[in-house]
Amino acid sequence: MSSSTPDPADPVFRLHVGGKMAVASTVPLTSREDLSLAYTPGVARVCEAIAADPALADTYTWVSHTVAVVTDGSAVLGLGNIGPRAALPVMEGKAVLFKQFAGVDAVPVCLDTQDVDEIVATVKALAPSFGGINLEDISAPRCFEVERRLDEALDIPVFHDDQHGTAIVVLAALRNAATLLNRKLGDLRVAVSGAGAAGVAVTKMLIAGGVDPAGVVVCDSRGIIGRHRELTGTKAELAELTNAEGRQGDITEALRGADVLIGVSGGQIPEAAVAGMAPGGIVFALANPTPEVHPEVAARHVAVVATGRSDYPNQINNVLAFPGVFRGALDAGATRITDSMKVAAADAIANVVAESLTADAIVPSPLDPRVAPAVAEAVAEAARRDGVARR
């Protein structure tokens, strides 16, 4: 039987019967008085108050603790463009993680369109029901445009987790790996394999966190990105921002003498290329389920290895970031999520295990209960410093 064929005896399918979430009331409904307060006629007074002062929705509705998890089903996990219905189990899972780790209520919204204009218009129309928008599993390059336009149009946080969640945790992990190896971020030479949503965001986040852009080289499927190539959009931006030496060639050339490899491409990288890195290097091979470099192979040549998998040490898992990021943004009433808020989140994640670093423990466990509260506090403080907080 295929692994994707429903099997009533399979614990995965058993767990998903009926879905992974439901709506629960937070108020009693056991008497006529309860009904009159929660619904008509009492609710009309609350509606009138909000009509007079829309900001009261934060106090008298669920928006202050609720986000929409929005996808078009175009880039779901490693499964690709499987569509909105097939994406729903993942979005339910995301919503459960929000609730479990940060007490944030989340609603899956799977859109039956992959048109940028339609996605933006639909999310804008839905926005009054939510305090934030978590974009999920939308393929590049459309995801950049969708996020940019929604961020400009809405006065609530918009966050594409495939980009920024990954980038935040990578920065946290690299900060701790550098500390462990007695290195400075600004001195590291970094090769990023992959120029999709995660690759672009990781590159920008590392630079925002202190990595020298002159020491960064980014590769896509055609090789090193630089001014020698005719590029548009985000890749053209990367060409201007990185590769100060004007390197040309493939990932092997990008890794020659590099201190760090960040793999977010899904493509395989030969061992010989990793062997060409500088001594005492760092490899984050984050493709799932098959890392760009097998961790045991990478460990032959570098000092610290991380993956996206749960069965190896140092799992770079977005759940370390997004619950706390939204909790902090919602607590502060943030109108958007700034770069400083993302860097603050990375610092908070890194600090959770800063006193107990080893080569096999540069990030906390995804189940560490200290992470989300620490991230939330740091993000809320950063929002207030940046002037985007309403409380």
Residue of 391, 352, 389, 341 whose CA lies nearest to 374:
352
Segments of the chain assigned E as strands: 66-71, 105-110, 132-135, 158-160, 190-193, 216-220, 223-224, 260-263, 281-285, 302-307
Tokens of 23: 């709506």
* Dihedral sign computed on CA atoms, order 324, 188, 308, 288: positive
Sheet of strand 105-110, all strands in order from the earlier edge strand to the far edge: 105-110, 66-71, 132-135, 158-160
CB 245 within 8 A of CB 224: no
Instruction: From residue 160, give the alpha-carbon distance in Å to each of 210, 272, 352.
Output: 22, 34, 24
Write the burial class of residue 350 (CB in 10 Å: 0-12 exposed, 13-18 middle, 19+ buried): buried
Of 20, 39, 235, 342, the active-site residue reads 39
Angle in degrees, CA 336, 340, 244, rounded to 5: 120
At 63, phi and psi to the nearest 5?
Answer: -60, -25
Of 94, 204, 235, 342, the active-site residue reads 94
Residue of 382, 346, 324, 379 whose CA lies nearest to 207:
346
Would you call 204 a catalytic residue per the annotation? no
* Interatomic CA distance for residues 284 and 271, integer angstroms: 14
Would you call 94 a catalytic residue per the annotation? yes
- Those residues whose C-beta lies under 8 Å from the C-beta of residue 312, and which sit 6 or more positions away, are 295, 305
CB 309 within 8 A of CB 289: yes
User: Annotated catalytic sites, by residue?
Assistant: 39, 94
